[in-house]
Structure 1
Amino acid sequence: MRNLRVDIVRIILTGLFASQFIVCYGGDLKVNIVPDHNDWIYNIGENVTFKVSISGDTPGQFSVSYEIGPEKMTAWKEDSFNSSNKEFIIDGGTMKVPGFLRCTITISFGDITQEEYATAAFQPWEIVPTTEYPKDFLSFWEKSISKARKIPLDTQLTLIKDKCTDTYNVYQVSYLNDEYKNRSYGILTIPVKSGKFPAVIRFPGAGVHPSGGNLAIADKNIITIDLYIHPFPVLWEKKFYDNLRESPYIDYKFWGAYNRDAYYFRRVISGCVKAVDVIFSLSQFDGKNLASWGSSQGGALSIITTSLDKRINMLVALCPAMCDFTGYLHGRAGGWPHFFNQENMEKYNTQDVLNTVPYYDVVNFARNITVPGFYSWGFNDETTPPTSIYAAYNVIKASKQVFIIPEGKHRIYPEQPKKTNQWILDSFQK
């Protein structure tokens, strides 16, 4: 537990992030807020002070308002005042239980308003899940995957000539997924030269647009599949996917949640596992080195697929979604897609949904991870809250490496793919 704190301090001290400030731009006005601990981590009962600085043109006096409370939850404290000082501190108080305390500050004058926030961690290594582990969790997924595998892959490759290079060929790959004979799709790269190669499956973040392929790591003589979780080819015109985004399809993350057999992600997960079958069917695969990689929704699917298919021997999960859905029902942040937050509570806080979500909660898959993993996230992430991520991370018993970006929000930072790709390359057996 203390190693996590040591790792974070080391990251701060080695200067990977030259600036310890959260910056929000609005014209010439910049608002910066940061806790008074360099690693942003506190012990329960320890007081946190948030340091605020403002740069840019401001009038002699401006308005300051702030809220303090657990991330994603109703504020404990609200206050406002006028100030002419561009540097000041806000007493954040403390927490009595493990979790994350957020201070959100708003600076305003005239028509100008800027908001920023910072999130302090309180003994996050002691956060425990709220989700229940169904007694038939493993048997449910064993039966589901077995049923999907009774459908032949019928793998089809379509060469994408304009994406091919001197070192790798690029294909649209499709294969039959489940008992309804839906097809799953993705972008596949295979090295041009002869030989046997390791492979990486990259799982997609949330949304309806397909990826263009994991081309950066493909150039290292590695087979890659970038999956597309929706049942449409990845080569159609962009307008088609734009129309999906403007249609009810964007709510796929909630579809069927009233029944564990009908939830949209059941088909998604079976397609992810069958992507492993596709890799093992390739004559160019070396048969032993297979990594999974994903961010947000993709981070969740990376953990889920690795948990279900033991042929994957390493995983990367950045800011994983779908962790500890029921956190909101216990007074703290829960995972994306936020079934039980204030916005969705009335619709989804039903017994049917509560019976379904444990079978799709990353926490319960994380309990069964047996291979090394590289994990990374930020404390300022509002989409995949760190409280929910730690609920899953803390139950993983396998070897794990963590790279925390305290000021990180919900995005991929350049250091993350650089570090994780190198970790995968170093981990492949020669």
Structure 2
Amino acid sequence: MPLQEMKTYKGRQEVPDDFDEFWDKQIQKVNENLPYKIVKRNFGLKNVWCFDLFFEGTNNGIVHAKCVFPAYCKKAPVVFRFHGYMGQALDWADLLQYEPMGVGLVAMDVRGQQGQSVDGEAFYGNTVLGHIVRGAVDGPEHLFYKDVFLDAYSLIEIVSDFEMVDEDKLYTWGDSQGGALALVSAALNPRIKKCATQYPFLSDFKRILELGPTTLPYEELFRYFKFYDPFHKTEAKLLNTLSYIDVKNFAHRIKCPVLMFTGLEDKTCFPSTQFAIYNRILSKKDHILLPEYDHEPMFYYVSSAVSNWLLGTKFPLEPPDTSSKTFKDEFRR
């Protein structure tokens, strides 16, 4: 799709009429006093609290998150960091990046993937490859990602009540699946004050079907039809069900500022599906486009830009100009 067309593109399907009602009811079902357990980690680090957080998710799930907080702050801002598809939370060493700035970092393991979170639900239908269609044959109430989205909502609720947390400075950040969770968290939980997202997953499923099975994370959509419904008799029903976890349909619920990064060569989460989200966001927003990048780690600028934007810090985004006469004169001096 040409870039000019993408700038106004909002996706192939509209939001279901009862979308907000559906999600408001799901949130109401979440236990207000969620039981949780904290397991302290001792890495020999001074002035740093590291601990595992476990809590009960919906449908018999057990959700795990790694938490790193500066021990010297009475009230610390918190960044909720979400990981990519089929992965797990960052390593503990990688979670220390915000602590020197007096900021806490909380990284959730998505249930049923590579981390310590446990998926306790039973599903009918295809469970061979992937999570998008898991539970879809039974309708929106039974979707796997419905529970994952509620896990993220619950995590924010629990952490925001911690004594050392500044509940007025809660932020989300993630890439791919994590980018989707960062956006959905901001849409479902108004406690989130800023959201940064990089090439978000789980958007515009009908558009994905049009583009064809060219990307592994979305391949399960095509496997569903190939092995379960080769004549596409249930396509309309399936797409309607999936519309309740389609991230573009959450965009209108987001009230906080959003920063999005998109690689225009992305062949995993196609740029048009990302624009379908961005163009529906009604709050303050900014879209940074990187023409040469695919669905891959983006250069150092992104990490620094996100820190600057989320936290209001002033890290230099550009290296010094070593070719300038001023630099050379100062160096020789």
State whether TM-score is above 0.5.
Answer: yes
Indicate how the Cα distance of structure 1 residues 250 and 341 shifts in structure 2: closer, same or farther if over 3 A, else same: closer
Give the corresponding residue for 1:378: 263
The alignment of Structure 1 onto Structure 2 pairs a total of residues equal to 296
**Structure 2 unaligned blocks of 5 or more:** 118-126, 314-333
Could you tell me how far apart the structure 2 residues matched to 1:292 and 1:412 are?
Answer: 18
Give the corresponding residue for 1:273: 153
Indicate how the Cα distance of structure 1 residues 328 and 199 shifts in structure 2: closer, same or farther if over 3 A, else same: closer
Could you tell me how far apart the structure 1 residues matched to 2:216 and 2:183 are?
Answer: 15
Amino acid corresponding to residue 229 of structure 1 in structure 2 = V
Cα displacement string for residues 128-149 of structure 1 (whole angstroms, at most 9, x for unaligned residues): 3112211110111111111122
Could you tell me how far apart the structure 1 residues matched to 2:16 and 2:216 are?
Answer: 20
1:175 aligns with 2:61: no
Secondary structure class of the residue paired with 1:275: helix
Cα displacement string for residues 15-59 of structure 1 (whole angstroms, at most 9, x for unaligned residues): xxxxxxxxxxxxxxxxxxxxxxxxxxxxxxxxxxxxxxxxxxxxx
**TM score, norm. by length of structure 1:** 0.63
Give the corresponding residue for 2:101: 220
1:322 aligns with 2:205: no
Indicate how the Cα distance of structure 1 residues 226 and 317 shifts in structure 2: closer, same or farther if over 3 A, else same: same
Could you tell me how far apart the structure 1 residues matched to 2:113 and 2:130 are?
Answer: 16
Indicate how the Cα distance of structure 1 residues 316 and 335 shifts in structure 2: closer, same or farther if over 3 A, else same: farther
In the TM superposition, residue 256 of structure 1 has moved relative to its aligned partner by 1.0
Give the corresponding residue for 2:24: 142
Amino acid corresponding to residue 302 of structure 1 in structure 2 = A
State whether residues 83 and 175 of structure 2, in contact with CA within 8 Å, keep that contact through their aligned partners in structure 1. yes
Give the corresponding residue for 1:132: 14
In the TM superposition, residue 376 of structure 1 has moved relative to its aligned partner by 0.2
Give the corresponding residue for 1:283: 163
Indicate how the Cα distance of structure 1 residues 233 and 354 shifts in structure 2: closer, same or farther if over 3 A, else same: closer
Secondary structure class of the residue paired with 1:366: helix
Secondary structure class of the residue paired with 1:219: helix
State whether residues 369 and 398 of structure 1, in contact with CA within 8 Å, keep that contact through their aligned partners in structure 2. yes
1:366 aligns with 2:245: no
Indicate how the Cα distance of structure 1 residues 278 and 335 shifts in structure 2: closer, same or farther if over 3 A, else same: farther
Cα displacement string for residues 340-392 of structure 1 (whole angstroms, at most 9, x for unaligned residues): 86555434752442221110101110122111111101011111100111111
Point out the structure with the larger strand share: 1
State whether residues 81 and 108 of structure 2, in contact with CA within 8 Å, keep that contact through their aligned partners in structure 1. yes
Give the corresponding residue for 1:297: 177
Could you tell me how far apart the structure 2 residues matched to 1:342 and 1:303 are?
Answer: 25
Could you tell me how far apart the structure 1 residues matched to 2:190 and 2:39 are?
Answer: 29
Cα displacement string for residues 224-273 of structure 1 (whole angstroms, at most 9, x for unaligned residues): 1101011689569xxxxxxxxxxx77623331122211111111011100
1:200 aligns with 2:82: no
Query: Root-mean-square deviation (CA), in Å?
Result: 2.7
**Structure 1 unaligned blocks of 5 or more:** 1-98, 101-120, 237-247
Give the corresponding residue for 2:63: 184
Give the corresponding residue for 1:395: 280
In the TM superposition, residue 330 of structure 1 has moved relative to its aligned partner by 5.2
**TM score, norm. by length of structure 2:** 0.81
Point out the structure with the larger helix share: 2
After TM superposition, the runs of 4+ consecutive aligned structure 1 residues lying more than 3 A away are 231-236, 328-337, 339-349
Indicate how the Cα distance of structure 1 residues 218 and 231 shifts in structure 2: closer, same or farther if over 3 A, else same: farther
Q: Which has the larger radius of gyration?
A: 1
Secondary structure class of the residue paired with 2:111: coil
Could you tell me how far apart the structure 2 residues matched to 1:335 and 1:421 are?
Answer: 30
Could you tell me how far apart the structure 2 residues matched to 1:177 and 1:316 are?
Answer: 24
Give the fraction of aligned pairs with identical amino acids, expressed as a percent. 22
